[in-house]
Amino acid sequence: MILNADGSKPIYIQIAQWIETEILNGNLEQDQKVFSQYQLAEMFNINPATAAKGLTMLVEEKMLYKKRGLGMFVTQHAKEIILSKRKNHTLKRLVQELVLEADRLDVGEEELVEMIRKISRGENG
């Protein structure tokens, strides 16, 4: 993953989202140790404090837990928390943006739904 440092989204949020995606993809599983702030800092060429802020955010959202002296680990319900968060926030926002753009372009609901169906079936047209 390449971090986007253009200022549109803070680096620590990008780090947190990257870890979330690793959990969703099954690359990090329940009770598995995640990267330390220093490993993340080295991987992404960022300040360790920035990486720590992303990790702390995930602890506060109950996706990671700390084991004193051992590091941070994936919680039992991390995947469900991430799915719910992304569905109820990220996906909802994207759908709202899509509907607004469709309105601006005078694309009706049926046409929009058909476009979505075609894309989900892998059709290009």
Query: Model confidence over 48-96: pLDDT tens digits?
Result: 999 999 999 999 999 999 999 999 999 999 999 999 999 988 889 999 9
C-alpha to C-alpha distance for 108 and 33, rounded to whole angstroms: 48
C-alpha to C-alpha distance for 47 and 17, rounded to whole angstroms: 17
Give 109's Cβ-side CA count (13 Å radius): 1
pTM for this model (two decimals): 0.77
**Which of the two residues, 31 and 1, has the higher pLDDT score?**
31
